[in-house]
Amino acid sequence: MDAPDLNLLPALDALLAEGSVTGAARRLGLSSSAMSRTLARLRAAIGDPLLVRAGSRLVPTPYAIALRDRVHTLAREVRDVLSPQDSPLDLATLDRTFTIRANEGFVGLFSAPLVAAVLAAAPRVRLRFAPKPAKDAGPLRDGAVDLDIGVLGAFAPEVRTHLLFRDRFVGVVRTGHPLLSAPVTPPRYAAARHVVVSRKGGFKGPVDEALAMLGLQREIVAVVPGFPDALRIARQSDLVALVPRSCVGDASFPHDLLSFELPVATPEIAVSAMWHPRLDADLAHRWLRDTVMAVCRAATRDLRERPGWPGMASQASSAGEG
């Protein structure tokens, strides 16, 4: 059996897009008779007339209509595959959708400046923020996710990573909460009732382990899937929320909430960007990574300069002032 003639693919794409031999010929820089002969070859190869006479014009057959989108996608992919990779990246015309998987905390803090930075440089690029149901390299591998942002897990070994910033947990309560009427000591903190965030619904975390070292135990009365949910509950109750400090630095952080340093030591949270090595050399993806890193650097600069940010010399303090 003969291999299909792949040279016919761009001609088929042009014919289905134009619906006309003359139009397709013009598009590919050929004479209409040459395109007519190519159409004849396509008809023989596919076994369908593809375009048939309807009065003075040609109309596509149902099979041609069914093929149109597939052929167009294929033709574009073939063009991309065979295009030299070292051609300069043209951000002004870059037409692409990037899917970024991140938790609500990251989206809340970084999505606005990231979208602004992306649109400023590449107006035809679209960003799709996908929820982060689990740590799973599958979507990175199969291409459903371009960039995964979060804490490194037991990821596939081939996945590339880059540290974006370091974070740490802080406590958050409503204004006027009795916990902040005196220094937040481990016993006073443990005596309060808490709301925590867990995607898997777990009730125990590093804070509980640190408290246990001191012989203390806190009472968790609510587990929610996202940090905004925890903040909402803290705002309307006496529950103490546990959220990353980056959430507190968000401009949208409610004024009637106060954050405070935890009275126990907890491990830092290293937030990283992760991507599949398949995209390592992709110029557009590299630009996206650089943009994400730059936005994170700029957005966390202000936060880093505030007391209590990881790596900064600081004492426990109640936030919300100023």
Q: Of 20-28, 103-111, 246-254, 263-271, which part binds DNA (CB under 7 A)? A: 20-28
Minimum CB separation of residue 81 from DNA in Å reads 20
Verify binding: residue 5, DNA, rule CB under 7 A: yes
Minimum CB separation of residue 87 from DNA in Å reads 24
DSSP 144: S
Of 14, 32, 16, 10, whose CA–CA distance to 24 is shortest? Answer: 14
Interatomic CA distance for residues 264 and 304, integer angstroms: 20
Q: Of 16-24, 69-77, 211-219, 253-261, which part binds DNA (CB under 7 A)? A: 16-24
Interatomic CA distance for residues 197 and 253, integer angstroms: 17
Out of 21, 42, 145, 299, name the contact with DNA by CB under 7 A. Answer: 21
Out of 9, 34, 78, 117, name the contact with DNA by CB under 7 A. Answer: 34
> What separation in angstroms does the CA of 255 have from each of 174, 248, 250?
9, 10, 11
Verify binding: residue 291, DNA, rule CB under 7 A: no
Interatomic CA distance for residues 140 and 288, integer angstroms: 15
Verify binding: residue 55, DNA, rule CB under 7 A: yes
Out of 3, 44, 47, 53, name the contact with DNA by CB under 7 A. Answer: 53
Out of 31, 73, 217, 252, name the contact with DNA by CB under 7 A. Answer: 31
Residue 240: strand pairing partners? 194
> What separation in angstroms does the CA of 82 have from each of 7, 77, 310?
13, 9, 47
Minimum CB separation of residue 116 from DNA in Å reads 46
Retrieve residue 209's tokens: 């382990």
Verify binding: residue 23, DNA, rule CB under 7 A: yes
Verify binding: residue 30, DNA, rule CB under 7 A: yes
Q: Is residue 260 a contact partner of residue 317, using CB atoms and an 8 Å limit?
A: yes
- Measured from the CB atom, the residue of 53 and 255 that comes closer to DNA is 53
Out of 9, 17, 27, 36, name the contact with DNA by CB under 7 A. Answer: 36
* Amino acid at residue number 281: A
- Measured from the CB atom, the residue of 43 and 286 that comes closer to DNA is 43
Q: Which residues contact 255 (CB under 8 A, 6 or more apart)?
A: 320
Helix (H, G, I), strand (E, B) or coil at 108: helix
Of 73, 62, 59, whose CA–CA distance to 18 is shortest? Answer: 59
Verify binding: residue 57, DNA, rule CB under 7 A: yes
Interatomic CA distance for residues 315 and 221, integer angstroms: 29
- Measured from the CB atom, the residue of 20 and 318 that comes closer to DNA is 20
Verify binding: residue 46, DNA, rule CB under 7 A: no
Q: Is residue 24 a contact partner of residue 60, using CB atoms and an 8 Å limit?
A: no
Verify binding: residue 32, DNA, rule CB under 7 A: yes
Minimum CB separation of residue 148 from DNA in Å reads 44
- Residues contributing to the site for DNA (CB under 7 A): 5, 7, 20-23, 30-34, 36-41, 51, 53, 55-58
